[in-house]
Amino acid sequence: MARQKRFRARLPLFWSAVVTIVVVYLILVLGTPLLTTLMVGTERWIPMPRTLLIMFIIVVLVGIVTHVTTTDKRIEEFKGPVLSFLRGDQDGKWPAWARWGRLAGLIVLPILLGGFVYTQTKPSVTSPTALRIQHPTIPGAFEKASNPFRNPDGTVKEIKVLEEGRVLYQKNCRPCHGTTAGGDGPMARGFRLRPINFRDPGTIATLVEGYLVWRIKEGGPGLPPVSSPADSAMPSWKEELKDEEVWKIILAEYETAGVEPRKPEKLE
């Protein structure tokens, strides 16, 4: 007890307030997550939610203000270092380091504060919260397109074409869409909007082939505004692949995924 008193008597009120805030901040940012990580037994660091952190810091600030303002003596003591910092070396008694230190502080503090306000208020890129239309209406030009490599009953005309399609698929699409079109290619995990699992009967099996031609040729950049904002990584292939190759890939894509395309509705 006696030791603690001596320590507090030596540290001016202003600096003990600063030290308190720093210590509490470190406990909240490093100590608590470490403790929760140990208690829960996970390997992943469990950070403290930001809103909670802000709330705790506010409570500490309120505590400090209450403590400082209880007596006039404390208020005077607290103001001391602040006023002498602002007033500077009035009667030429400060050592050189203190004078330079004050000057550096006067330059650095506004920059730090400005930087803090800037980072807090600058707009940042976040995932859109609005729902996005996964399958926008297909442009008319693609709607009636039918695969030249299929018989009218939907079967594949030549097995050779299917094989070419498989090679083209593995070469161009596998990195993202995966070897078996499961949406699990090695690059897929890098995207926020991931390629979907085409083996799922709710995906390409519900689409006509013309729709795929459109999506493959135009890719993410060609999505209409109703599907935006979303960072679709799907490239536009109209420059790289010939129409014929796109049809071959589609043939192979359905076969690889083990599903059938939707049949276009018979109009009139």
Q: Which residues bind ligand HEC (CB under 6 A)?
A: 135, 172-173, 175-177, 187, 191, 193-196, 203, 212, 215-216, 220, 232-235, 237, 249, 253
Tell the smallest beta-carbon distance from residue 28 to ligand HEC (Å): 38
Residue type, 27: I
**209 close to 142: Cβ distance less than 8 angstroms:** no
Comparing CB distances to ligand HEC, the nearer of 21 and 205 is 205
C-alpha 227/C-alpha 220 separation (Å) is 9
| Closer Cβ to ligand HEC, 149 or 237, answer by number | 237
Task: Fill in the amino acid letter for 11.
Answer: L
Terminal-to-terminal C-alpha distance of the chain: 95
Residue 203 in 3-state DSSP? coil
What are 156's strand-pairing partners? 150
Tell me how far, at minimum, the Cβ of 49 lies from ligand HEC, in Å. 30
Nearer to ligand HEC, 103 or 167 (CB): 167
Q: CB-side exposure of 240: number of CA atoms within 13 Å?
A: 14
What is the nearest approach in angstroms of ligand HEC to the Cβ of residue 157? Answer: 20
Cβ proximity to ligand HEC: between 28 and 173 the closer is: 173
Q: Closer to ligand HEC by CB, 78 or 211: give it.
A: 211
- The minimum distance between CB 155 and ligand HEC, in angstroms, equals 21
Nearest 5°: the CA angle 215, 220, 223 is 70
To ligand HEC, the closest distance from the beta carbon of 147 in angstroms equals 13
| Residue 176 · residue 169 · CB < 8 Å | no
Least distance between ligand HEC and beta carbon 230 (Å): 6
Tell me which amino acid residue 262 is: R
Task: Give the number of other CB atoms < 10 A from CB of residue 210.
Answer: 21
Residue whose tokens read 């290619």? 185
Q: Which is nearer to ligand HEC, 175 or 258 (CB)?
A: 175
Nearer to ligand HEC, 166 or 194 (CB): 194
Least distance between ligand HEC and beta carbon 31 (Å): 40
What element of type H or E holds 75? helix 72-87
Q: What is the CB neighbour count within 10 angstroms for residue 189?
A: 9
Task: Copy the structure tokens of residue 11.
Answer: 């540290």
Other beta carbons less than 10 A from residue 14's beta carbon: 16
